[in-house]
Amino acid sequence: MAEQEVQNGGAEKAVPAVEFTAVKPQLLVEAPKANDAVQFYKSVFGAEEVGRTNHPKRKAEQETPLILSAELKLAGSIILVSDILADDSSAPIKTGGMGGVVLCLETQDVDAAIAKAVSAGGVAEGEIAEGDGACCGGRVGKVKDPFGFVWLVSSPPTKKECDDVVEA
Amino acid sequence: MAEQEVQNGGAEKAVPAVEFTAVKPQLLVEAPKANDAVQFYKSVFGAEEVGRTNHPKRKAEQETPLILSAELKLAGSIILVSDILADDSSAPIKTGGMGGVVLCLETQDVDAAIAKAVSAGGVAEGEIAEGDGACCGGRVGKVKDPFGFVWLVSSPPTKKECDDVVEA
């Protein structure tokens, strides 16, 4: 496939190609309803829950822990369902109490992927951070593309990072 | 997997199980920028365009036809990119000029899938219609789940229905 010109582009050819291993829609549910949403998708769409990570900061405070990311297998694909707090400054998008959808894109090279998107007109939001990303990755960055869509770019989950995954 | 109780549920057990064959995030781009978005995802994320259907109603009117649905293969998954008009009453969601994401869910039994979602608390929006669905399906219905997410439920594309797919 030939390299295409993109708006604000031109610099991206200097950046090496980045391989992506998965793209997963992440449904951001007004907390604490993510668990209800998971049950709905299991019951109504026959989704299978294949993993869940709870929000570490909330574990001690909440009777029912908030869901950082529940991974559902639906029609052969993976979708993620997460609790989101209206006042959470680390939330992927401001939903104003409404549900929102972002796209999680997995790659071994988060920095290069973000850089390439920015060079083509995307806007990086926040710093690339280690830790408890909703995609369950090691490094997680966020970029809004020129069309308004938010991509969470993360390194794939490793066993260690997902040790606190619980079965539903 | 055991059947789960869901909020407003109870009636769904009377509805037979529905098989889903695919779930695809559909990115709704403010018209006429969908083609730019496709080029961005190809250039920046290495997406491969595997199909495109233009908006039939706009073909004659527009120099560059609007995209009803471009199908991109990205990291082994399919994402859809579509032009959306602010004043299009048949648009899957009102985006107010901003990008939005809906989820396309393919099944042979659109009616049963919608009925099951409604019986569990979802709200059907509009009628199930034949024709030029953005998912390129035969029958397309729309349901908003209790958490605010819009699902476009469609029957899988057939060769005949996608005869006007053009290569980019």
**pLDDT tens figures, B107-140:** 999 999 999 999 999 999 988 887 655 555 678 8
CB B152 within 8 A of CB B142: yes
Rounded (5°) CA angle A110-A114-A120: 150
> Looking at the structure, do residues B156 and B117 belong to the same domain, yes or no?
yes
| Minimum Cα–Cα distance from B82: chain A residue | A147
CA proximity to B69, closest of B100, B35, B43: B35
Q: Cβ contact (<8 Å) for A9 and B99?
A: no
Per-residue burial over A124-148, b if 16 or more Cβ lie within 10 Å, else e, is eeeebeeebbbbbbbbbbbbbbbbb
> Looking at the structure, do residues B32 and B74 belong to the same domain, yes or no?
yes
pLDDT for the residue B95: 52
Q: Does residue A143 lie within any of the structural domains? A: yes
CA distance A168 to B19: 22
Q: Does residue B163 lie within any of the structural domains? A: yes
> Looking at the structure, do residues A161 and A123 belong to the same domain, yes or no?
yes
CATH number of B160's domain: 3.30.720.110
pTM of the model: 0.80
| Minimum Cα–Cα distance from A76: chain B residue | B22
Domain range for A134: 100-168
Q: Does residue A42 lie within any of the structural domains? A: yes
Element (H, E) at A44: helix A34-45
Average pLDDT over residues A32-40: 96
Q: Does residue B3 lie within any of the structural domains? A: no
> Looking at the structure, do residues A36 and A60 belong to the same domain, yes or no?
yes
> Looking at the structure, do residues B126 and B165 belong to the same domain, yes or no?
yes
CA distance B147 to A119: 35
> Looking at the structure, do residues A79 and A108 belong to the same domain, yes or no?
no
pLDDT for the residue A9: 46
> Looking at the structure, do residues A48 and A111 belong to the same domain, yes or no?
no
Which of A18, A22, A99 has the CB atom closest to B149's CB atom?
Answer: A99
Q: Which residue has the higher pLDDT, A78 or B135?
A: A78
CATH number of A47's domain: 3.10.180.10
> Looking at the structure, do residues A75 and A113 belong to the same domain, yes or no?
no
pLDDT for the residue B11: 47
pLDDT for the residue A61: 57
Tell me the CA distances in angstroms from B100 to A4, A36, B25, B125, one per residue in order: 24, 23, 10, 17
Which of A18, A20, A45 has the CB atom closest to B105's CB atom?
Answer: A45
Joined together, the tokens standing for residue B51 give 């199909």
> Which residues in chain B have their CB less than 8 angstroms from residue A99's CB?
147-149
> Looking at the structure, do residues A76 and A26 belong to the same domain, yes or no?
yes
Tell me the CA distances in angstroms from B160 to B33, B100, B129, B136, one per residue in order: 27, 29, 17, 10
Closest approach of chain B CAs to the CA of A127, in angstroms?
20
Q: Cβ contact (<8 Å) for A6 and B121?
A: no
> Looking at the structure, do residues A110 and A161 belong to the same domain, yes or no?
yes
Give the total number of structural domains in chain B.
2
CA distance B18 to B154: 12
